[in-house]
Amino acid sequence: MWLSDIACMKRFLKPAEGESILEVGAGNGYFSGAIASELGASGLLVASDPSTEQLSGLETECEFGNIRVVSASADALDIGFSGFDAIWSRGAIHHVTDKTSAFARFAQVTRPGGRLVIADIFSGTTLARYFDSFIAQSCNTGHEVAFLSKEFAASLCALTGWGKPTFYEEITPWEFEKREDIGRFLQLLFSAKPEYSAEDCFAAADEHLSISETASGWALMWPMTVMAASRPAHG
């Protein structure tokens, strides 16, 4: 279902053989294996997350043995690695409380000329409205977050040693065999409270996003904003 997201990652991050890349907020490691495969045996992926429970086994199971898992928050990043060619983060920065410290730490551990690619939910978008109006109410664990605006993200880059960022609006299709699979998937993905049925989850997504029938099933169009910036080559 997330193959289109992997393609999006490759298009913007452009992981190359032999590079060292830091993944911030690796979550369940879905992107980690795909990135590490592009880096090859001579490269290194450091997968960081405040909780590494879901990343158990990632180091030993990866194809080239080139993944290191570290427990660290984005605004601290005490990871013992530096000089990264690039930093990648998807769907994690809106959970970070101190974004100024996070962006500063990103710059400190990245080499001059290195790049920062963040795919996330930005304020004012249809996805932000979907989260604020439905996920915040239905999520069993709550969803207290702070979405970046493009203006604040640009200011953070200027303040912490990054060049002017570029923003891209990317809509990727999440494909399913059956209509009901969409609601059930969203119900599980966002840990919906018992009183929110799979049909409730489907209806909310259909109201705020775009769901359509395809030749092979159904597609939920998932809109994300991608921010790309680089460190000036002079330092």
The answer to the question of residue 97 being in a domain is: yes
Cα–Cα nearest to 118, from 58, 66, 166: 166
In 3D, which of 103, 139, 138 has the Cα closest to residue 120? 103
Sign for the CA dihedral angle at 202, 11, 48, 96 comes to: negative
CATH code of residue 198: 3.40.50.150
The amino acid occupying position 155 is S
Q: How confident is the model at residue 129 (pLDDT cuts 50, 70, 90)?
A: very high
pLDDT at 196: 98
**Residue 35 is assigned to a structural domain of this protein:** yes
> DSSP letter at 40?
-
Q: Tokens 């970070």, residue? A: 96
Mean pLDDT for the chain overall: 95
- Please name the residue that has the structure tokens 């590079």: 19
Nearest CA to 66 out of 93, 84, 46, 50 is that of 46
218 within domain boundaries: yes
pLDDT for the residue numbered 67: 97
54 occurs within a structural domain? yes
Domain range enclosing 141: 3-230
Sign of CA dihedral 207, 139, 92, 31: negative
Residue located via tokens 């000089």: 83
Would residue 141 count as lying in a domain? Answer: yes
pLDDT at 235: 53
Q: How far apart, in whole angstroms, are the C-alpha atoms of residue 219 and residue 177?
A: 9
Q: Is the CB of residue 186 less than 8 Å from the CB of residue 202?
A: yes
Q: What mean pLDDT is predicted for residues 4-33? A: 96
Res 75: pLDDT: 92
Q: Which two tokens stand for residue 48?
A: 């960081």
pLDDT value at 1 more than 90: no
Over pLDDT 90: what percentage of the chain?
A: 94
Per-residue model confidence as pLDDT tens digits over 59-107? 999 999 999 999 999 999 999 999 999 999 999 999 999 999 999 999 9
Exposed/middle/buried for residue 17 (C-beta within 10 Å: 0-12, 13-18, 19+): exposed
The reply to whether 86 falls in a domain is: yes
User: Does residue 197 fall inside a structural domain?
Assistant: yes
Q: Within a domain: residue 235? A: no
* pLDDT tens column, 168-225: 999 999 999 999 999 999 999 999 999 999 999 999 999 999 999 999 999 999 999 9
E-assigned strands of the chain? 20-24, 44-49, 67-71, 84-90, 110-120, 166-176, 210-213, 218-230
The domain total for the chain is: 1
Query: What confidence score (pLDDT) does residue 234 get?
Result: 75
% of the chain beyond a pLDDT of 70: 99
